């Protein structure tokens, strides 16, 4: 059986409000051999973690700065959803408590992971790092730029590379790292582009969007194949323990 991979949904939006995720996340999980399960915000206990074998925290709008101790919201912040923040922070912390549950965090997901572990965010990259490297177009469209990976990182070993050209569209970045995280990739302007947990066997977060290229490029697809493979192992261990 293929493992169930939970993907937390974007915040409610639209004239007739919906919870959704971009199709690329669903398609790449299917291509990698998993079964995607969309997780909208719920309250209370997170029994859904008993059902899934892996978790993706995807991109989307900005995390409310009050969640990481900033009292003033930058004018560039957009699509802030208190409902989504509350759910995903609880989901991330509950998932981290299951030390071997595999988790892949993308763009906002990386920032959310950092906040869940007590870190903070740079609210607007140009204010701190300038505009030598563009991380998105003004109309919130993706751009490509190089990143450098720590050679000894899990991410570099998984991708088989220490330098990449990636697609991203974000205006925020991780600042102070959360507990147990280490930076493992950087863009030329010094923005942290990936982090890994030192306390978990597979908790990897990237600031770029590998799902945009994974359907046609075996390189980015490796991230999702690794997540699915780890999820199979996680499910098998749980079945044996039961």
User: For residue 229, what are the contacts with CB-CB under 8 A and spacing of at least 6?
Assistant: none
Nearest to 5 by CA among 228, 203, 206, 214: 228
Q: Which of 193, 196, 211, 225 is catalytic?
A: 211
Residue 107 annotated to the active site: yes
Nearest to 236 by CA among 22, 1, 42, 10: 1
Q: Which of 107, 145, 171, 225 is catalytic?
A: 107
d(CA 62, CA 173): 10
Q: Which of 170, 171, 200, 209 is catalytic?
A: 209
Residue 211 annotated to the active site: yes
Q: Is 36 left (phi over 0), alpha (psi -120 to 50) or beta?
A: beta
Residue 7 bridge partners (DSSP): 38, 56
**Helical H segments across the chain, by residue range:** 23-31, 82-97, 108-116, 125-129, 154-159, 218-241
Residue whose entry in the numeric block shows the structure tokens 């700065």: 65
Nearest to 59 by CA among 96, 18, 88: 88
> So which residues are the catalytic ones?
107, 209, 211
């Amino acid at each position: 059986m293929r493992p169930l991979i939970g993907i937390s949904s974007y915040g409610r939006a639209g004239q007739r409000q919906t919870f959704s995720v971009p199709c690329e996340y669903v398609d790449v999980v299917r291509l990698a051999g998993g079964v995607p399960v969309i997780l909208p915000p719920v309250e209370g206990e997170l029994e859904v973690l008993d059902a899934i074998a892996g978790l993706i925290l995807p991109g989307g709008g900005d995390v409310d700065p009050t969640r990481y101790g900033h009292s003033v919201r930058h004018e560039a912040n957009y699509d802030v959803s208190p409902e989504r923040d509350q759910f995903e922070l609880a989901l991330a912390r509950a998932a981290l408590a299951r030390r071997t549950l595999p988790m892949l965090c993308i763009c906002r997901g990386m920032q959310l992971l950092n906040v869940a572990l007590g870190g903070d965010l740079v609210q607007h990259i140009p204010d701190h790092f300038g505009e030598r490297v563009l991380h998105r177009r003004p109309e919130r469209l993706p751009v490509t730029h190089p990143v450098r990976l720590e050679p000894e990182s899990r991410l570099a070993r998984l991708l088989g590379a220490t330098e990449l050209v990636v697609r991203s569209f974000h205006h925020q970045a991780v600042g102070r790292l959360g507990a147990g995280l280490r930076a493992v990739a950087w863009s030329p302007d010094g923005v942290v582009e990936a982090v890994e947990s030192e306390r978990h066997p597979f908790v990897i977060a990237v600031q770029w969007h590998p799902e945009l290229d994974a359907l046609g490029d075996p390189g980015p697809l490796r991230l999702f194949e690794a997540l699915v493979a780890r999820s199979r192992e996680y499910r098998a261990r749980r079945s044996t323990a039961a």
